[in-house]
């Protein structure tokens, strides 16, 4: 008989009986709301043909849902202490593999080869708030066949990842995500859906990974240097932010002339530029700088 993981009291008792504790250092907030779990599985469109990588399974409440719906599930859990409870709660499923590692130290290409035969797979995760961005970018930048990523994250972070140019939440991370994927907030999740309850609202976010980056640029690294520079000094104009910046090597006068040639105002700010516009400026600047060195 399955343990009832939808009951906060049951989850607390299961931990207490094993002398386990919620670890703030790992950002542990376990989801117990069945409707949210169903929405996560539905958003990921999990079928028996799918391979799934789950990050941070905890006691296994979502893992069980995935095991029922997916062909194979690989769950990466950092907390060694909770592994016994996790294995107990998924013991009746033979399509789940558990890896006790830090996802940031996992070689995703190697994992894909070993467990998924390098075939497309989907990612589902309930991410600690303090480490959301590094994990998301590791997934998006990996050379694996990730189809989609459905994650539970802090609402404020979800707002930044999905923000449009000109809005208060728009930043370098918004552009980075947009470069690799279509991002959509599936639903909001109140604090009481977790045990222990966090102090903020969460959101289920779906990233539909693109087959190729949204824009084609001459030099991807240069594009992201440009983006990073323009948002590192938000109070400055784009022109002032990139002038003399390390890795860009353009004077203010050169940058001003280039922007004028492209038809952009000298007073524009990076937070108003779309990814396509950043790509346009990046290619133009890169070509001009290459001409200087010939």
For residue range 120-147, list pLDDT tens digits in order.
999 999 887 778 999 999 999 999 999 9
**Each residue's pLDDT tens digit, 53-82:** 999 998 888 999 999 999 999 999 998 888
* Order of strands, sheet of 96-99, starting from the edge strand that comes earlier in the sequence: 96-99, 72-76, 51-55, 121-126, 146-154, 202-209, 181-189
Predicted confidence at residue 99, as pLDDT, reads: 97
Q: What is the pLDDT of residues 238-261, one digit of tens each?
A: 888 888 776 787 888 888 888 899
Whether the model clears a pTM of 0.85, i.e. scores above it, the answer is yes
Coil, strand, or helix at residue 252?
A: helix
Q: Give the per-residue pLDDT at 250.
A: 81
In degrees rounded to 5, what are phi and psi of residue 81?
Answer: -65, -30
Helix 252-262 vs helix 275-293: angle between axes, to the nearest 10 degrees?
Answer: 120
CB 116 within 8 A of CB 51: yes
């Amino acid at each position: 008989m399955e343990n009832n993981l939808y009951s906060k009291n049951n989850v607390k008792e299961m931990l207490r009986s094993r002398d386990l504790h919620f670890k703030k250092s790992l950002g542990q907030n376990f989801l117990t709301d069945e409707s949210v779990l169903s929405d996560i599985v539905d958003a990921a469109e999990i079928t028996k043909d799918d391979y799934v990588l789950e990050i941070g399974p905890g006691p296994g409440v979502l893992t069980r849902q995935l095991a029922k719906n997916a062909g194979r599930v690989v769950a990466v859990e950092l907390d060694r202490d909770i592994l016994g409870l996790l294995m107990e709660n998924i013991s009746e499923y033979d399509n789940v593999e558990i890896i006790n590692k830090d996802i940031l130290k996992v070689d995703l290409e190697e994992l894909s080869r070993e467990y998924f035969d390098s075939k497309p797979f989907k990612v589902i995760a309930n991410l600690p708030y303090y480490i959301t961005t590094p994990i998301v970018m590791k997934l998006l930048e990996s050379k694996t066949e990730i189809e989609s990523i459905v994650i539970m994250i802090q609402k404020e972070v979800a707002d930044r990842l999905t923000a449009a140019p000109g809005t208060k939440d728009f930043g370098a991370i918004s552009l980075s995500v947009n470069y690799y994927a279509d991002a959509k907030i599936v639903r909001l999740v109140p604090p009481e859906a977790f045990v222990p309850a966090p102090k903020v609202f969460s959101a289920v976010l779906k990233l539909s990974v693109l087959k190729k980056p949204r824009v084609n640029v001459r030099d991807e690294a240069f594009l992201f240097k440009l983006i990073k520079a323009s948002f590192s000094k938000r109070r400055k104009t784009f022109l002032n932010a990139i002038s003399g910046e390390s890795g860009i090597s353009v004077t203010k006068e050169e940058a001003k002339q280039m922007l004028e040639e492209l038809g952009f105002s000298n007073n524009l700010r990076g937070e108003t530029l779309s990814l396509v516009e950043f790509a346009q400026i990046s290619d133009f600047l890169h070509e001009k700088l290459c001409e200087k060195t010939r």
